């Protein structure tokens, strides 16, 4: 049946419409960015603008190429980064409308041809075939033909052009035939019965032999040993079955054969104890005349017993065969190990679903699922039935866990089992409890009662916890970035305190060179200390400080650590190029810790007085001190400044000093640290 569809819009029209939407969306985004009021605080979580722009460019290229699925994926990734991105919001509805009417086709060719090709939602066809009018996306194709194994394929249509699949080679179904003899080494021929009872030679060899991958059907096996008449036996080979043919070429006693061969032969004569005499096929000579009790045992199958009569000078042939059937073991859910009398079935390693042959009879099977425990079921295996199946139905349900934001670790009884979004398709019924954890978010617990056959869905919004965590960098409430330095046991501001940050805490800006992203300058030591105290109170009120930590100025020793290997060619100074003012923080590369402007830009206040201890420290570091400053009420300044041009002023070991009340220093600023309170 062909459904009526509205007239299709040409693809080039859709491309133009979406490119127009991209331009409009970009304009709206720019207008919204310009409408932001001056002085609006930066959000705590910033958008990776470079990543957004790159994905929008890639999506625009995908639209131009007509790759609608790729364009939709890229725009969805843009919204995942920036939920209100105007370009993506304007483009996605048009792309979805385009995908609703986009259609492709697939060409399916099989060898041999004439196979049934079934595609979900589109009907049944015969190969070779071109299936048209398929929606773009993924499709499941099933290919079936009598006498051949079923093929399952998944395809993805990404364009409105025909998808040409490589020729699908169909594998024939087959069975196995074992040919054995006593003694070994008999020559054999395998003939297949074809049309009009004609015989076709399939294989020649000597026993023992295992002939695999035989087409199902009727065969004749001819075996010969010099001095004996040729032995002939007809046999039927069936799909997924193992069949055997055996012959005994010997004199006297009895000959014992079995299907399958390899069965243990036990014999009891009179009142003697039963004894094992070999495996089939077997020739027993010089047996006493009279009755003997034979028992054949094969694996864990029920033994076959029979009383036989041995006559003088006569060799009788006795054949034993287990009536057996192919049994399919299945479970819901799959993945269970199946046991029979404590022996694992399926070659000792397979789990449901699997198949194996068993002789006719009553059985009690046990299935063991690693998550759902045990199930027992009784079954009579009927060799005459067309098929035998054993099904184990476990009680279970499913659980889905999602979180906002996603990517939270899910723990059950303290053991991690995955990350959100997480679907657990097999869960035992009963009371359930899960813990969700994510860095910089408070942990959350969810619980509920799962019924057999039911499904539970947990969705939670994690609460952001801005408090920094040891060993990780963080951004505080006014947008300052802090770097964890393990040697100091605390955090150091990545940048010198900016004028914007200073004004947000104190409400004023004393700088000689006013610019929001330049370091605050012309600030005295007392004002810098007061800023640290105010920032501590503000962050504590928001719950953003670890217990026992406070903001303060660094010590002289701490500054000597975090300056690291900062070189002068990475410092804002007049050493190589005369500067006229301070520069924006972070203008040059950071040192190995991630600290910017540790040398240059502005002198940085530290908490130490210029004392004899400082003089001794300068001497050990190979610099020149000013002993006259000791005891003159001066605080230490480190790092040099934008207006310094001498190697002496800019040396790492050099210390400048100034009175803590000095205010007219347009080359002095400060950097804060977050350390344990003393």
Please report, for the domain that includes residue 448, its CATH number: 2.60.40.10
Return the higher-pLDDT residue of 465 and 605.
605
Name the token pair of 369.
């699922």
48 and 65 inside one domain: yes
Instruction: Determine, yes or no, domain membership for 248.
Output: yes
Within a domain: 468: no
What would the two tokens of residue 358 be? 């068993």
The pLDDT tens digits of the residues spanning 390-434 come to 999 999 999 999 999 999 999 999 999 999 999 999 999 999 999
Q: In this structure, is the dihedral angle defined by the CA atoms of residues 25, 29, 34 and 37, taken in order, positive or negative?
A: positive
Give the contacts of 644 (CB within 8 A, at least 6 positions apart): 573, 574, 575, 600, 650, 667
Residue 164 to residue 169: CA distance in whole angstroms: 15
How far is Cα 544 from Cα 475, in angstroms, rounded to an integer? 10
- Whether residue 179 sits in one domain with residue 164: no
Residue 179 lies in a domain: yes
Same-domain pairing of 59 and 123: no
* DSSP reduced 3-state for 538: helix
Q: What is the DSSP letter of 520?
A: P
pLDDT digits (tens, 9 = 90+) for 225-280: 876 668 899 998 888 888 899 987 766 688 899 888 899 999 988 778 889 989 99
- Distance, in Å, from the CA atom of 246 to the CA atom of 207, rounded to the nearest integer, reads 9
Alpha-carbon distance of 636 to 615, in angstroms, equals: 11
410 to 404, 425, 427, 432: CA distances (angstroms) = 13, 15, 14, 13
Question: CB of 668 within 8 A of CB of 637?
Answer: yes
**Read out DSSP for 544-578?**
-S-TTEEEEPPPHHHHHHHTTT--GGGSBSSSSS-
% of residues, the chain, pLDDT over 90: 49
Task: Read off the pLDDT of residues 494-505 as tens digits, 9 standing for 90 and up.
Answer: 999 999 999 999
Per-state percent for the chain, helix, strand, coil, to nearest 5:
20, 40, 40
H or E element that contains 24: helix 11-34
- Domain range enclosing 144: 103-169
Domain boundary among 265, 290, 321: 321
Q: Which pLDDT belongs to residue 351?
A: 94
What is the pLDDT averaged over residues 294-313? 85
Average pLDDT on 502-528 reads: 96
Q: Which of 526, 527, 510, 506 shows the shortest CA–CA distance to 518?
A: 510
Kindly indicate the confidence band of residue 440, based on its pLDDT and cuts at 50, 70 and 90: confident
Q: Confirm if 321 and 379 have CB atoms less than 8 A apart.
A: no
Are 249 and 295 in the same domain?
Answer: yes
| Within-domain flag for 1 | no
Q: Final residue of a domain: which of 69, 101, 133? A: 101
| Cβ within 8 Å of residue 621, ≥6 positions away | 652, 653
- Does residue 459 surpass a pLDDT of 60? yes
311 and 183 in a single domain? The answer is: yes
- Helix-helix angle 525-541:499-506, to 10 degrees: 70
User: Each residue of 467-485: pLDDT tens digit?
Assistant: 677 778 889 989 999 999 9
Residue 392 counted as domain residue:
no
| 466 located within any domain | no
Residue of 402, 408, 411 lying closest to 464 (CA atoms): 408
Instruction: Specify the 3-state DSSP secondary structure of 579.
Output: coil
- 356 with 445, same domain: the answer is no
CA distance 49 to 29: 12
Q: How far apart are CA 623 and CA 620, in angstroms?
A: 8
Conformational region of residue 377, where left means phi above 0, alpha means psi within -120 to 50, and beta covers everything else: beta
The verdict on 108 and 96 lying in the same domain is no
Question: What string of DSSP letters covers 273-325?
Answer: PPEEEEESSEEE-SPPSEEEEEEEE-TTSPPEEEEEEE-TT--EEEEEE--EE
CATH number of the domain encompassing residue 647: 3.90.1580.10
Contact 627, 615 (CB under 8 A): yes
Q: What pLDDT is stored for residue 32 in this prediction?
A: 46
What mean pLDDT comes out for the span 91-107? 79
Total structural domains within the chain: 6
Please give the Cα distance from 310 to 253 (Å, whole number): 7
Task: Give the DSSP H/E element, type plus range, for residue 550.
Answer: strand 549-552
Task: Quick: pLDDT tens for 609-619.
Answer: 999 999 999 99
Q: Indicate whether 88 belongs to any domain.
A: yes
Say whether both 72 and 193 belong to one domain.
no
Verify that 347 and 493 share a domain, yes or no.
Answer: no
Neighbouring C-beta atoms of residue 325, cutoff 10 Å: 17
pLDDT of residue 174: 83
> Which tokens go with 195?
């049309």
- Which of 321, 339, 356 is the last residue in one of the domains? 321
Residue 20 domain flag: yes
Give the separation between CA 333 and CA 488, rounded to whole angstroms: 55
- Give me the phi and psi of 670, to 5 degrees please: -160, 165
Q: Tell me the CATH number at 211.
A: 2.60.40.1120
| Average confidence (pLDDT) over 588-616 | 96
The token duo for 526 is: 């007392």
Q: Which residues are paired to 653 by β-bridges?
A: none
The three-class DSSP label of residue 590 is coil
Rg of the chain over Cα atoms, rounded to whole angstroms, equals 43
The answer on 635 and 521 residing in a single domain is yes
CA pair distance 489, 376, nearest whole angstrom? 60
- Of residues 596 and 38, more confidently modeled: 596
**DSSP structure string for 44-93:** SS---HHHHHHHHHHHHHHHHTT-HHHHHHHHHHHHHH-TT-HHHHHHHH
Half-sphere exposure of 619 (CA within 13 A, CB side): 8
Model confidence pLDDT, tens digit, residues 131-184: 887 887 888 898 888 778 888 888 888 777 778 888 988 887 788 999 998 888
Residue with tokens 């007809």: 234
pLDDT for 438: 85
Dist. CA 353–CA 346, nearest whole Å: 10
DSSP per-residue string spanning 383-416: TTSS-EEEEEE---EEEEEEEESS--EEEETTEE
624, HSE (Cβ side, Cα atoms, 13 Å): 4
Could you give the CA distance from residue 122 to residue 131 in angstroms, rounded to a whole number?
A: 8
Both tokens of 321, joined, read 């065969």
Same domain assignment for residues 559 and 583: yes
pLDDT recorded at residue 34: 45
Give kind and range of the element (H or E) at residue 612: helix 612-620
Average pLDDT score over residue span 49-57:
85
Same domain, 532 and 655: yes
Length of the chain: 678
pLDDT of residue 1: 31
- 354-359 and 388-393: which strand pairing? unpaired
Each residue of 56-85: pLDDT tens digit?
Answer: 888 888 787 777 787 778 888 888 888 888
Peptide bond into 128 cis (omega under 30): yes
Alpha-carbon gap, residue 656 to 605, rounded angstroms? 9
CB 396 within 8 A of CB 333: yes
* pLDDT band at residue 28 under the 50/70/90 scheme: very low
pLDDT at 542 over 90: no
Comparing CA positions, the residue from 654, 665, 673 lying closest to residue 599 is 654
């Amino acid at each position: 049946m062909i459904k009526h569809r509205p007239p299709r819009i040409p693809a080039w029209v859709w491309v133009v419409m979406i490119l127009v939407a991209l331009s409009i969306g970009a304009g709206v985004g720019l207008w919204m960015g310009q409408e932001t009021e001056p002085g609006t605080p930066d959000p705590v979580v910033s958008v990776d603008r470079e990543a957004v722009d790159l994905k929008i460019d890639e999506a625009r290229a995908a639209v131009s190429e007509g790759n609608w699925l790729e364009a939709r994926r890229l725009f969805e990734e843009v919204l995942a980064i920036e939920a209100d991105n105007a370009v993506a919001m304007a483009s996605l509805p048009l792309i979805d409308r385009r995908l609703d009417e986009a259609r492709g086709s697939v060409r399916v060719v099989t060898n041999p041809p004439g196979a049934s090709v079934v595609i979900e939602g589109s009907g049944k066809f015969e190969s070779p075939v071109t299936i048209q009018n398929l929606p773009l996306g993924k499709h499941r194709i099933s290919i079936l033909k009598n006498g051949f194994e079923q093929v399952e394929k998944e395809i993805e249509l990404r364009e409105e052009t025909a998808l040409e699949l490589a020729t699908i080679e169909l594998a024939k179904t087959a069975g196995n035939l074992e040919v054995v003899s006593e003694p070994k080494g008999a020559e054999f021929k395998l003939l297949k019965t074809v049309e009009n009872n004609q015989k076709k030679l399939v294989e020649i060899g000597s026993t023992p032999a295992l002939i695999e991958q035989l087409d199902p059907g009727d065969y004749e096996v001819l075996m010969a040993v010099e001095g004996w008449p040729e032995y002939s036996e007809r046999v039927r080979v069936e799909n997924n079955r193992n069949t055997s043919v055996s012959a005994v070429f010997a004199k006297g006693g009895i000959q014992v054969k079995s299907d399958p061969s390899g069965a243990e032969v036990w014999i009891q004569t009179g009142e003697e104890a039963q004894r094992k005499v070999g495996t089939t096929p077997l020739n027993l000579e010089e047996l006493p005349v009279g009755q003997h009790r034979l028992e054949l045992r094969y694996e864990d199958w029920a033994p076959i017993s029979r009383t036989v009569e041995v006559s003088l000078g006569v060799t009788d042939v006795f054949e034993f065969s287990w009536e057996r059937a192919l049994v399919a073991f299945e479970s819901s859910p799959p993945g269970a190990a199946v046991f029979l009398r404590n022996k694992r079935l399926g070659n000792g390693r397979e789990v449901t679903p699997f198949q194996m042959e068993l002789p006719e009879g009553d059985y009690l099977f046990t299935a063991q699922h690693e998550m759902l425990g045990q199930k027992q079921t009784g079954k009579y295996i009927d060799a005459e039935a067309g098929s035998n199946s054993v099904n184990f139905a476990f009680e279970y349900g499913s659980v889905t866990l999602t979180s906002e934001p996603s990517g939270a670790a899910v723990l059950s009884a303290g053991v991690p089992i995955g990350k959100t979004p997480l679907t657990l398709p097999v869960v035992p019924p009963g009371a359930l409890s899960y813990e969700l954890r994510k860095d910089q978010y408070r942990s959350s617990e969810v619980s509920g009662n799962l019924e057999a056959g039911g499904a539970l869905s947990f969705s939670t919004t994690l609460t952001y916890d801005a408090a920094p965590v040891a060993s990780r960098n963080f951004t505080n409430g006014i947008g300052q970035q802090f770097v964890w330095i393990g040697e100091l046991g605390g955090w150091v501001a990545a940048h010198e305190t900016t004028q914007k940050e200073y004004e947000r805490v104190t409400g004023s800006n004393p700088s000689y060179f006013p610019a929001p992203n330049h370091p605050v300058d012309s600030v005295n030591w007392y004002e810098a200390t007061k800023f640290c105290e105010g920032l501590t109170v503000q962050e504590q009120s928001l719950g953003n400080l670890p217990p026992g930590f406070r903001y303060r100025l660094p010590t002289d020793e701490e500054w000597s650590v975090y300056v690291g290997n900062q070189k002068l060619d990475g410092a804002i100074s007049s050493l190589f190029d005369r500067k006229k003012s301070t520069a924006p923080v972070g203008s040059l590369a950071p040192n190995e810790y991630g600290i910017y402007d540790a040398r240059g830009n502005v002198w940085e206040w530290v908490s130490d007085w210029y004392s004899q201890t400082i003089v001794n420290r300068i001497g050990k570091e190979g610099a020149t001190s000013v002993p006259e400053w000791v005891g003159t009420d001066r605080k230490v300044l480190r790092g040099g400044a934008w207006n310094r041009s001498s190697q002496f002023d800019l040396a790492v070991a050099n210390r400048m000093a100034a009175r803590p009340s000095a205010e007219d220093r347009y080359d002095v600023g400060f950097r804060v640290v977050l350390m344990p309170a003393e």
